[in-house]
Amino acid sequence: MNEHYPFINPPLPYSYDSMEPYIDTKTMELHHDRHLQTYVDNLNQLLKENPAYQGFSLEQLVLYACSMPDGLRTPIRNNAGGVYNHLLYFSTLQGNGPQQPSGALGSLLQKQYGSYNAFQQRFTEAALSVFGSGYAWLVQKPDGSLDITRTANQNTPLSFQTRPLICIDVWEHAYYLKHYNKRADYIKDWFAVADWEQAGKNFLS
Ligand code: MN
């Protein structure tokens, strides 16, 4: 990923069929090559027209969108958020078989939620209760503790000291071809491909 404009859509670090049978090949291809690509293209077009922000990193664009001028604030939030959220989503999937959180992240998760099963229930409830399109996230708060949050559309929970660790995209384009309208089935399948090793690297212990 380029640090600044012009942003690129990096190839997935695995093949489109890597998440079978949990997330189907066609969904992975369309999701990365069309949906994410559109956010990258739209963001680049916005920055082409607003060169003052061409030196901003993706995280800076997300963080400073709220203080940008009217007319730029919302499209930057949607498109920089769309790029940021999808990059995190794709980077925290793996197709090598179900994992469980381990290491420092695993210990804290166990301490806060009681067990991985209990955490999965809480996270599932959060992901199911996103009304319309959005994401559920596991984040690390400024005090170091974990939290489960939800965002609508392409909003992100990123703030100056809150670190997103892993997220599930619950827009219908993330699951409709295989799971139709059954978001609960997709969430269950997502747990089988969640990359807890990467989430652990995103976690600052
Ligand atoms: Mn998506």
DSSP state of 61: H
Mean pLDDT of 86-103: 97
Q: How far is the CA of 178 from the centre of ligand 1 (A)?
A: 15
Q: How far is the CA of 24 from the centre of ligand 1 (A)?
A: 14
> Which pLDDT belongs to residue 161?
82
To which H or E segment does residue 111 belong?
Answer: helix 103-113
Q: How far is the CA of 2 from the centre of ligand 1 (A)?
A: 20
Q: How far is the CA of 10 from the centre of ligand 1 (A)?
A: 15
Range of lowest pLDDT (127-131, 133-137, 176-180, 201-205): 201-205
Distance of CA 190 to the CA centre of its chain: 12
Tokens coding 21: 């049978």
To which H or E segment does residue 187 belong?
Answer: helix 183-193
- The pTM score is 0.97
Q: How far is the CA of 144 from the centre of ligand 1 (A)?
A: 28
Rg for the chain, CA atoms, rounded:
17
Q: How far is the CA of 117 from the centre of ligand 1 (A)?
A: 26
